[in-house]
Structure 1
Amino acid sequence: MHPALQAVLTIVIGLGGCIGYFWFSNQLFDKVLFPARGPNIGRNIRRAEMIRPWLFLFPAIFALGLYLAYPVVATFWLSLTDRDQGGAFVGLANYQQMLREAKFWEAIRNNMLWLVVVPAASTAFGLLAAQLTDRISWGNIAKSLIFMPMAISFVGASVIWKLVYDFRPIGQEQIGILNAFWVWLGGEPQTWLTITPWNNFLLMVVLIWIQTGFAMVILGAALRGIPEETVEAAIVDGANPFQIFFKIKVPQIRSTIVVVWTTITLVVLKIFDIVLAMTNGQWQTQVLANYMYDKLFRAFDWGVGSAAAMVIMLLVSPILVWNVINARREMR
């Protein structure tokens, strides 16, 4: 079947199924189970109104249970078993093996480095871009250009930047922008992605390039929401542009900055595509998600691979919980 036709059929069947489910359920409630007639009409209406919200929530709860809760439980169980022993229960042996591997600690170290650099740089550049683009006449064009990388997949962005870092032997024309510039300055072409530890930072540039647009849009909206009265009062008091920005504007959007920071942090904790496409974890660039992929789909070691997946989940969960709590606090 042609992919386009398959997509159309999927949409039609999915949409039709949802409409049919809600129509049939309402008919069952109103005509059969809790009819709005007879001596028990009041009790029926109350019962129907109590149960009806769960009727509408059921598809979402079922989908979350099937595609989120069940995989977590199954992965945890796999992390406690050994494939070579026919799926026998081995307790924490997989976790102990994982902790003994140098590649795991390399992945942990690199993930921590990504966590320090990428959210900070993306948020800072996004905040700077949001502030500056509102002060120039062609700001909308600049915003579009900065946001454009968000429309590119991580793999697509990795291919672009791999060409930027491309290496050709001495004497050949350098097609990589970085090496071409380096040779123009008088240096010799370098295999940038193999130079440790700088290759990790070169990989981080790709994600910073992508996430800066996201940070700019969110922080730009927050900056435009700052009351003009506070800025005008600061100007009257003699504050210079730097003082207005850092002492008046930034404190008022601190909560938005934290949300942007934590959102990018979640992306960083799950980073996989960029490392896989550019270095495949070689030359000391391994990260947790790529380590998990290597164990699960290359070594076919589901125990250690699942243990790595649980580590990633444990790192991500506190930030998710904090984001939910913070969002609820902001809505009050």
Structure 2
Amino acid sequence: MVIALLAFAAVVGIILFLAGLAERRGRRNVAWLFLAPTVVLLLVGLVYPAGRTVVRSLYDAAGSQFIGLSNYLTIFSSDEQLVVLRNTVLWVLVTPFIATIIGLIYAILVDGARGESFAKALIFLPMAISFVGASIIWKFVYEYRDHIENLLPGQQQIPQIGLLNQVIVWLGGSPQQFLINSPWNTFFLIVVMIWIQAGFAMTILSASIKAIPAEMTEAARLDGVSAFEMFRFITLPAIRPTIVVVLTTIAIGCLKVFDIIRTMTGGSFGTSVVANEFYTQSFSAGNQGLGAALAVLLFILVVPIIVYNVRQLRASEAH
């Protein structure tokens, strides 16, 4: 730590010395001197690794033989990798919309109600939990213990420690292995992400709703519009840019989701997604080429969403 602090102080000192020297020689445009360390760090920590990853994706598992686009062809032709892509699409299509809808409905229902702050804190609380912590919680919720259909006299049923299975048993059903049966197990994993992100959506959308001018809502009430018409013609158009931001932000999180998959199933039983498969291929299976190709694919999928998000933010600021 001491060495790092001394190095930082030395870099700042050199920059200030060079900036002062340049100004004494009549040069006023010295801002680039202060940007230089950031540019160097970006080149070393971002641009160079990204370039190395792209190059590595064109080689075989050992990284010794150039195979061109074969790794990318494997991603779109292998049955196992197609399942990974299918799961990723499900995450991106299902999670953002459901989480945003839940957050929006909750934000509208509690807006101006008594105990609004407490009600918002309850749904926002999962956001304070790490993805790993939330995954462990829900893994216990889905926990399964074998259920004996025909009990012998004096034989006791094995108690369920999973909340969901215990409720099913109370209702007279048989416990289920929610995290094993594909493709439904993917949806049970998606529930965890929705549980976490609904609070984020509620917080952002609630702030946007409160920013609607009071004159607009009062004029609508004086015109006698119903609650549904108020939502459709006043609230929804006013918060549309915020909804887009929330949707795209959650979608980016779904594309990069790793913690939930790794903690709850490890990618087994047909639940792996691109981010988890990249880790598995790179560090478990030892296929560096395919792992790099998956990382590049993940980057390609995220970039359009980020660009669209930035454009929407600029458009909303312009208005």
* Aligned counterpart in structure 2 of residue 90 of structure 1, from 67, 86, 90: 67
User: 1:325 and 2:304 equivalent?
Assistant: no
- In 2, the alpha carbon distance for the partners of 1:284 and 1:252 equals 41
Task: Specify the alignment match of 1:252 in structure 2.
Answer: 238
- Per-residue deviation, residues 109-142 of structure 1 (Å, max 9, x unmatched): 1111111110001111111222222232111112
User: 1:200 and 2:186 equivalent?
Assistant: yes
- In 2, the alpha carbon distance for the partners of 1:327 and 1:59 equals 29
- Per-residue deviation, residues 134-180 of structure 1 (Å, max 9, x unmatched): 23211111211211111111111100000000111222111111001
1:177 partner letter = L
Task: Specify the alignment match of 1:33 in structure 2.
Answer: 22
Between the two proteins, the alignment pairs up a number of residues equal to 309
CA contact (8 A) 1:103 1:291 kept: no
Q: What TM-score results when the alignment is normalised by the length of structure 1?
A: 0.88
User: 1:304 and 2:294 equivalent?
Assistant: no
Q: Give 5+ residue unaligned stretches, structure 1.
A: 1-8
Task: Specify the alignment match of 2:143 in structure 1.
Answer: 166
Computed over aligned residues only, the root mean square deviation of the Cα atoms, in angstroms, reads 1.8
- In 2, the alpha carbon distance for the partners of 1:243 and 1:329 equals 25
Task: Specify the alignment match of 1:280 in structure 2.
Answer: 266
* Aligned counterpart in structure 1 of residue 52 of structure 2, from 74, 92, 110: 74
- Per-residue deviation, residues 252-273 of structure 1 (Å, max 9, x unmatched): 1101100110011100111111
- In 2, the alpha carbon distance for the partners of 1:256 and 1:15 equals 41
Structure (1/2) with the larger helix percentage:
1
- Cα deviation for residue 15 of structure 1 reads 5.8
Task: Specify the alignment match of 1:146 in structure 2.
Answer: 123
2:253 partner letter = V
C-alpha distance 210-196 of structure 1, shift in aligned 2 (>3 A): same
- Per-residue deviation, residues 81-124 of structure 1 (Å, max 9, x unmatched): 1244x622221122223333211100111111111110001111
- Per-residue deviation, residues 185-206 of structure 1 (Å, max 9, x unmatched): 1001111111232211110010
CA contact (8 A) 2:135 2:260 kept: yes
Q: Report the identity percentage.
A: 44
- In 1, the alpha carbon distance for the partners of 2:205 and 2:34 equals 35
| 1:280 partner SS | coil
| 1:82 partner SS | coil
* Aligned counterpart in structure 2 of residue 113 of structure 1, from 62, 67, 90: 90
CA contact (8 A) 2:19 2:33 kept: no
Moved more, 122-131 or 200-209: 122-131
- In 1, the alpha carbon distance for the partners of 2:288 and 2:97 equals 34
